[in-house]
């Protein structure tokens, strides 16, 4: 089975051909936005990190930005630096260059000021665009696809319709030789014993269980104080209103996203996947930070289930929205791509809905825009911090 995608210099395959303008530090955000606004097909990936970070905190930022810049959905990269940041524009540039992807950089303090940097950056981006525009879609096997499995705004329909349906989609893709990746460690609490049985070996199981244990310890520490007793609920008001009562109930519904394939790999946040098949990535439960990790890990498309409904998207990866709630679909047709509520209405079953989503995903892989792309949604790009220095 094939789709029409872009073959990259390092051998990977993309479903989009973006020109990415990426700041190495938040201080260069506005310049990056202004440069990207000047050229058709360019997107800016502005963020809040890159300065005053050390150790694992700095490494996580560096790994995320490098893996997003070398992602196969991107044809060419312009790095915009300030000049004094810890994550240096030169280190960033060297990594992208080594992947073979066309890359340029502009540094504000070297150009003189931000206006001069925007002018110099726009000229470089113009040249990059000529290269990137020459790329054509070619036939690529679906076994080269990696899909991210994400959920946000969960209600009770997610666990019985939308999540099992994308679990089926994931099973179909893995059956064709492709890969998928699930994340959101906070949303595994209470379901980890079930997933453990599906891990291919102890190493994968231990990595996943250690992530759950560490996360639960952090949560316990953060909510221990009596003064936070009204802020200790792990699930949102929307989850509660939608009929989800406990974090374990949410987790048991959540893991249906993973279908039935064996779990072949477990990776750190934003680390590139190594194993074919179904992978686990250790990420926060927040939609943006999780989706950012999945994209950096190599997912070219994200399947995002939402019972309550959310409009969000990612700047360089198509996000397909699937709801298991027919009411939500009818209300949010401009934001939601697939109505898996048909399962609850009895018009489709999990298997047929999984296939509908698979076919839709292949169309998106070949260029069809998702609703989030059409409306320009890009708010899911969020890089989490490992360290923060605020006492509480």
Partner 1 sequence: MIKISEINILKISKKDNVAVLLSDATEGDYYIYNDKKYELNEDIKFGHKVALNDIKKDEKIIKYGEVIAYAKEDIPAGSWIHNHNIVSDRGRLKAGDDR
Question: Does 229 participate in binding partner 1 (rule CB under 8 A)?
Answer: yes
> Which residues fall within 8 angstroms of residue 173, CB to CB, at 6 or more apart?
142, 145, 147, 179, 180, 358, 361
Q: Which listed residue (76, 242, 309, 318) binds partner 1 by CB under 8 A?
A: 242
* Residues facing 81 on adjacent strands: 107
Q: Which of 33, 344, 379, 386 binds partner 1 (CB under 8 A)?
A: 344
Q: What angle do CA 31, 32, 38 make, to 5 degrees?
A: 95
Spell out the residues 6+ positions from residue 321 whose beta carbon is closer than 8 angstroms to its own: 304, 305, 306, 310, 335, 336, 337, 338, 370, 371, 372
Residue number, 249 or 287, with CB nearest to partner 1: 249
Q: In the bound complex, what is the minimum distance in angstroms from residue 219's beta carbon to partner 1? A: 5
The full length of the chain comes to 392
Interface with partner 1, residue 290, by CB under 8 A? no
Position among 216, 282, 289, 337 found at the interface with partner 1 (CB under 8 A): 216
Q: Rule CB under 8 A: say whether 190 interacts with partner 1.
A: yes
Assess 189 for contact with partner 1 (CB under 8 A): yes
- For 175, other C-beta atoms within 10 Å of its C-beta total 10
Q: Which two tokens mark 204?
A: 């994968």
Q: Whole-angstrom Cα distance, residue 62 to residue 154?
A: 31
Span of 87-95, 173-181, 231-239, 293-301 interacting with partner 1 by CB under 8 A? 231-239
Tell me whether residue 112 or residue 243 sits nearer to partner 1 (CB atom): 243
Which tokens hold the place of 360?
């839709």
For partner 1, which stretch binds (CB under 8 A), given 85-93, 212-220, 290-298, 384-392? 212-220
- Whose Cβ is closer to partner 1: residue 133's or residue 236's? 236
Per the listing, tokens 């089975």 go with 1
330 is a site residue for partner 1 (CB under 8 A)? no
The residue (of 231 and 388) whose beta carbon lies closer to partner 1 is: 231
Q: What is the nearest approach in angstroms of partner 1 to the Cβ of residue 344?
A: 6
The minimum distance between CB 244 and partner 1, in angstroms, equals 8
Strands 138-141 and 2-7: antiparallel
Q: Of 122-181, which residues contact partner 1 (CB under 8 A)?
A: 155-157, 159-160
Per-residue tokens: 301: 């498309």
Radius of gyration of the chain (CA): 21
Q: Which stretch binds partner 1 (CB under 8 A): 92-100, 117-125, 140-148, 224-232?
A: 224-232
How many chain residues interact with partner 1 (CB under 8 A)?
37
- Of 175 and 217, the one with the shorter C-beta distance to partner 1 is 217
Given candidates 34, 46, 186, 306, which one binds partner 1 under the rule CB under 8 A?
Answer: 186
298 in contact with partner 1 (CB under 8 A): no
Alpha helices in the chain (DSSP H): 29-38, 55-69, 89-98, 108-111, 114-133, 156-157, 163-175, 192-196, 202-223, 237-241, 247-254, 287-296, 326-331, 341-344, 350-365, 371-374
Q: Binding of partner 1 at residue 230 (CB under 8 A)?
A: yes
The answer for 337, left when phi > 0, alpha when psi is -120 to 50, beta otherwise, is: alpha
DSSP 3-state assignment of 347? Answer: coil
Q: Which residues bind partner 1 (CB under 8 A)?
A: 155-157, 159-160, 186, 189-191, 194, 216, 219-220, 223-224, 228-234, 237, 240, 242-243, 245-249, 252-253, 307, 325, 327, 344
């Amino acid at each position: 089975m094939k789709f029409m995608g872009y073959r990259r210099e390092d051998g990977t395959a993309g479903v989009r051909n973006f020109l990415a303008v990426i700041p190495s530090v938040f201080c260069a955000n506005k310049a990056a936005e202004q440069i990207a606004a000047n050229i058709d097909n360019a997107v800016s990936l502005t963020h809040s990190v890159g300065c005053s970070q050390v150790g694992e905190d700095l490494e996580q930022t560096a790994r995320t930005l490098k893996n997003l810049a070398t992602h196969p959905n991107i044809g060419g990269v312009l790095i915009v630096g300030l000049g004094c940041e810890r994550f240096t524009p030169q280190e960033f540039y060297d990594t992208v260059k080594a992947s073979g992807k066309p890359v340029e950089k502009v540094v504000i303090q070297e150009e003189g000021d931000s206006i001069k940097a925007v002018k110099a950056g726009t000229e470089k981006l113009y040249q990059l665009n000529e290269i990137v525009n020459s790329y054509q879609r070619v036939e690529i096997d679906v076994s080269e696809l990696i899909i991210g499995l994400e959920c946000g705004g969960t209600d009770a329909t997610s666990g019985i319709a939308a999540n099992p349906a994308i679990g089926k989609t994931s099973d179909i893709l893995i059956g064709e030789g492709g890969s998928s990746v699930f994340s959101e460690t906070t949303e595994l609490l209470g379901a980890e014993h079930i997933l453990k049985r599906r891990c291919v070996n102890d190493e994968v199981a231990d990595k996943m269980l250690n992530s759950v244990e560490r996360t639960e310890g952090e949560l316990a520490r953060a909510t221990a104080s009596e003064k936070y007793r009204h802020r200790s609920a792990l699930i949102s008001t929307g989850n509660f209103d939608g009929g989800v009562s406990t974090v374990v109930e949410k987790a048991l519904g959540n893991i249906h996203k993973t279908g039935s394939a064996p779990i072949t790999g477990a990776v750190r946040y934003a680390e590139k996947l190594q194993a074919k098949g179904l992978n686990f990535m250790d990420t926060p439960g927040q939609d943006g930070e999780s989706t950012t990790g999945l994209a950096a890990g190599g997912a070219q498309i994200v399947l995002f289930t939402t019972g309550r409904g959310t409009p969000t998207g990612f700047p360089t990866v198509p996000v397909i929205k699937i709801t298991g709630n027919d009411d939500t679909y009818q209300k949010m047709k401009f934001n939601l791509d697939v109505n898996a509520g048909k399962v609850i209405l009895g018009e489709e079953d999990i298997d047929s809905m999984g296939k509908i989503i698979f076919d839709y995903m292949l169309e998106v892989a070949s260029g069809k825009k998702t609703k989030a792309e059409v409306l320009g949604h890009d708010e899911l790009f969020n890089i989490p911090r490992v360290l923060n220095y605020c006492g509480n």
